Structure 1
Amino acid sequence: MDTSAGPHILRAGKGDVTVEPGMLDRYLLESAASGGSIALVEHVLDPKVLAAPIHRHSREDEYSFVLAGTLGVIEEGVEITASPGDLVTKLRGRWHTFWNAGDDELRVLEIIVPGGLEAMFRRFGEPGGEYSPDTLPALAAEYGADVDFEATMPLVERHGLVF
């Protein structure tokens, strides 16, 4: 991002996007544009869609600001829901995931500090980016993350989630 000529603006609905079934990611600010310090991604999830298996990352903290809909979050076994205007903190090293806990579209601004994890989101949306319980752990490890499918499936069943 070149701001030498003044402020930079990314207009509503603009920016790179990746799409997976039931989920769209819009990249608002990537780590390369912030010197690695932060990344901002807008997640848009259909009702009852789980964003990711239960996972933890060793490098980044994530902050989810709810723009619209109802966000479900589990962290270290504790479940909560959050509404528009709420900010949920998910710190590095803690097992967590999130999903659309409502019947309407969920829009979340994901703030990643430091940036870098957004590159993994991009990989999910690439052609051939369909990862399974056999292949996802290796990809997650490239980004300093672990996944736990065994803990994920009871969450999916309990809330009737699409995963």
Structure 2
Amino acid sequence: MAHHLPLPDKDDPVWTAANGFIVRKDGGVVRLTGHETFAVKVTGEQTDGAFAFMDGLIEAGHGNVPHIHSKEDEAFYVASGEFEFINGNERIAAGAGDFVYIPKGTRHGFRNTGSEPARLLVFYTPAGPESFFLAFGETERDPEPWPDEKFGELVDILGAHNMVLLPADHDWD
């Protein structure tokens, strides 16, 4: 049995408009934040604000500070290694192949719990937080994690990027 579906006219741009794009394996803009290296692969500028994508390499024993995004959902795909995530008041252990979704307004953070650098893919919907990494991430490796003073200097900047830093649990630091 053949189904006959209505099709756009052959003159409709749906047949010819090449609106997509590709980012190659080594593409993106690399930025460093403490002991995290992120390649910002896709920005909101490229997707009309729909989403952003970053590919991160997180050094062993390191990760980010607990925080919330006030306007964006964030999702993580663990490409390699082992991580611990904060999700509100719970802890989640995640390994290679696991996917973690954090809706906006939820306290979260992550840490590489393994003994080797680990790879984490990060998605934002809508886009926005990636612009912080592009504007304020460093291009040279700092030998130490970002100190509390650095985060203190960034509070207003982070706020402008819809991020609010939150206290860590006593055993997260």
Same structural fold, with TM-score higher than 0.5 when normalized by the shorter chain: yes
Bigger radius of gyration: 2
Q: Distance in 2 between matches of 1:82 and 1:37?
A: 26
Match of 1:134 in 2: 152
Q: Distance in 2 between matches of 1:23 and 1:97?
A: 13
Identity %: 25
In the alignment, structure 1 residue 13 sits paired with structure 2 residue 26 = yes
Match of 2:122 in 1: 110
Match of 1:71 in 2: 83
Task: Decide which structure has greater helix share.
Answer: 1
Matches within 5 A, 1:81-92: 81-92=93-104
Q: Distance in 1 between matches of 2:35 and 2:45?
A: 27
Match of 1:160 in 2: none
Deviation, structure 1 residue 6: 7.3
Indicate if the aligned counterparts of 2:44 and 2:128 stay in contact, CA closer than 8 A: yes
Question: Which AA in structure 1 matches 2:33?
Answer: E
In structure 2, the CA distance between the partners of 1:58 and 1:11, relative to structure 1 (3 Å rule), is same
Question: Which AA in structure 2 matches 1:13?
Answer: D
In the alignment, structure 1 residue 22 sits paired with structure 2 residue 40 = no
Q: Distance in 2 between matches of 1:118 and 1:96?
A: 17
Helix, strand or coil: the match of 2:79?
A: strand
Q: 1:49 aligns with which of 45, 62, 67?
A: 62
Helix, strand or coil: the match of 1:28?
A: strand
Q: How many residue pairs end up in the alignment?
A: 152
In structure 2, the CA distance between the partners of 1:36 and 1:101, relative to structure 1 (3 Å rule), is same
Helix, strand or coil: the match of 1:141?
A: helix
In the alignment, structure 1 residue 151 sits paired with structure 2 residue 164 = no
Q: Distance in 1 between matches of 2:135 and 2:164?
A: 16
Question: Which AA in structure 1 matches 2:38?
Answer: D
Match of 2:48 in 1: 35
Q: Distance in 1 between matches of 2:172 and 2:152?
A: 19
